Amino acid sequence: MELVTGEFRNTLDDKGRLSLPAKLRAGLPENVLVVTQGMDSCLWLFTPERWNALSEQLFATTSLFHQQARIIQRRIIAPAQEVEIDKAGRIAIPQSLREYAGLSKDCVVLGITKRLEIWDAEAYRAWIDATEAEFAAASEALDIQNL
């Protein structure tokens, strides 16, 4: 039921298909996912159930006549598409999302318990490097006890 974790490197083929690592697939309740634009030029993948919960929350607090609402709607909700996991364990990533994330051949797939992320491998490495200092600061600010 819960999505699993792990960092994997897989390759996007010429037809825009990407294998989801078997270890991550094992944690999925069904063979359908919703993929959309995430933050930091990566793609987010949710189970349909989780996506519905998220998009309803986003709509519940917004009106099409408010600028901020339209920004959220167009950047988060509009790009979302359902994708089916084929018999070989792959998903076909829609072209607009491939472009957004700048996916070339080498991709990184992350399992983050409640969602998956897909990155261009090079972009991921760059992002990790770029946020090195911020990571140090953010972790200092955490207040996690008993661990």
Partner DNA sequence: CTTTTTCTCCCACTTTTTCCCACAATTCTC
Partner DNA sequence: GAGAATTGTGGGAAAAAGTGGGAGAAAAAG
CA distances from 125 to 18, 38, 105, 130 (A): 19, 17, 15, 9
Our finding on whether 118 is near DNA (CB under 7 A) is: no
Distance CA 24, CA 40 (A): 22
Integer distance in angstroms from the first to the last C-alpha of the chain? Answer: 26
Residues 33 to 72 in contact with its own copies, rule: CB under 8 A:
34, 36, 39-40, 44, 46, 48, 50, 52-55, 57-59, 64-65, 67-68, 70-72
Q: Which is nearer to DNA, 54 or 101 (CB)?
A: 101
Task: List CB contacts of 97: < 8 A, sequence separation 6 or more.
Answer: 35, 36, 37, 43, 79, 81
- Look at residue 30 and give its three-state secondary structure: coil
Our finding on whether 86 is near DNA (CB under 7 A) is: yes
Do the Cβ atoms of 37 and 44 come closer than 8 Å?
A: yes
Q: Which residues bind DNA (CB under 7 A)?
A: 8-11, 13-16, 18-23, 25-26, 84, 86-90, 92, 94-95
Q: Which residues bind its own copies (CB under 8 A)?
A: 2-3, 5-9, 23, 34, 36, 39-40, 44, 46, 48, 50, 52-55, 57-59, 64-65, 67-68, 70-82, 94-97, 110-115, 117, 128, 131, 134-135, 138-139, 142, 144, 146-147
